[in-house]
Copies of this chain bind each other. A is one copy, B any other.
Amino acid sequence: MAEECNVLAVGVLEGNERSLARLISIIENKPENMSTVLPIIQSVLGRAYCIGFTGPPGAGKSSLINQVAQALNNKGHKIGIIAVDPTSPFSGGAFLGDRIRMQNQLDSDIFFRSMATRGSYGGLARATKDVIKLMDAFGNDFILVETVGVGQTELDVMQSTDTTVVVLVPEGGDSVQAMKAGLMEIADIFVINKSDRPGAEDVAIQLKAILQMNPNKQKKMPPILLTQSLDGLGVEELVGNLEEFKMRLEGAELENRRRRRGKNDFEETLRNIFIQEWRKLVQENSFINKKYHEAVEGNLDPYSAIRDIFPDGIISDKF
């Protein structure tokens, strides 16, 4: 497997689309293979600019992203799209239907990939981060990430993007939902899509009022744009705003965002390696195994069990 990953990673660097598709599938199923892939691609990472689109289901994000991708592509940029769908496993196929349709509409020089849960929830955000890196190494100028829904997975995914667009629709309650889900804090740009429906202006005014109450003074007030993605109205303005935001961000602020991301990435990788080692150890060491099971059965609290197993700390006595 490591040998195949090596070859595929080189293929990705050369811009081979099949290598990218195959490597994504491998990483989705066995993320630990990133330990082989990353050393090969690390030095080129960071060229792609990553834009996340999130918001409640039914806001028309797919068609909006389709439009944005076309517009950026027309300007000569190479585009990757990732659609993240935390659909439950047993209903997976059906919900991906509209995404498959979207795929056919897109030009063939826009690389599209849809990702669904493979049983484990926490794994989806992690896999998405890895796929963003692979698409970056592939040479994309822009990577557009769409999430379905407004939960924790979505927030985690948005931590890996350079810009976050929150897409709402005019129907009341949407902005309240977005606020509850914590989307207000992460939005760089708001889009009210399907703005031909009644109430679009009202929602924009409400949203502005809510944002002005926001005590986060360091952040510039995010623009609120109206779009109708089905006939492309407002998409040009959105692309203009995205480009402006990108330009404004480049330099110190972009470095800061990416450094923060680098820290999260590192700790996540460290935690994953640690827990793998731990699970192996618990199989092999009978004293540890005994203490562990006392804790699992509730006969000993976890803190006491960990103190018994590692009296001098888990890593401290190595240094």
Contact = CB atoms under 8 A, between A and B. Distances in A.
B306 A269 contact: yes
A45 B302 CA distance: 13
A108 to B, nearest CB: 30
A184 interface: yes
A300 B181 CA distance: 34
Contacts of A310: 318
Contact of A38 (B263, B266, B302, B317): B302
A254 B288 CA distance: 25
Interface stretch (A16-24, A66-74, A150-158, A163-171): A150-158
A315 B263 contact: no
A232 interface: no
Interface in A133-163: 148-156
A86 interface: yes
A300 B42 contact: yes
Contacts of A223: none
Contacts of A216: 90
A34 interface: yes
Interface in A260-301: 262-263, 265-267, 269-271, 273-275, 277-278, 280-281, 284-285, 288, 292, 295-298, 300-301
B149 A305 contact: no
A313 interface: yes
B213 A90 contact: yes
Nearest to A268: B302
Q: How often does this chain occur in the complex, in copies?
A: 2
A296 B262 contact: yes
A179 interface: yes
A39 interface: yes
A210 B315 CA distance: 49
A262 B297 contact: yes
A88 interface: yes
A84 to B, nearest CB: 12
29 contacts: A34-B303, A35-B303, A38-B304, A42-B300, A42-B304, A45-B298, A86-B182, A87-B179, A88-B179, A88-B182, A90-B184, A91-B180, A91-B184, A121-B155, A149-B181, A151-B152, A262-B296, A262-B298, A265-B295, A267-B275, A269-B302, A271-B271, A271-B274, A277-B313, A277-B315, A280-B316, A281-B316, A281-B319, A285-B319
Interface of A: 34-35, 38-39, 42, 45-46, 57, 86-91, 95, 117, 121-122, 148-156, 177, 179-185, 210, 213-216, 258-259, 262-263, 265-267, 269-271, 273-275, 277-278, 280-281, 284-285, 288, 292, 295-298, 300-306, 310, 313-319
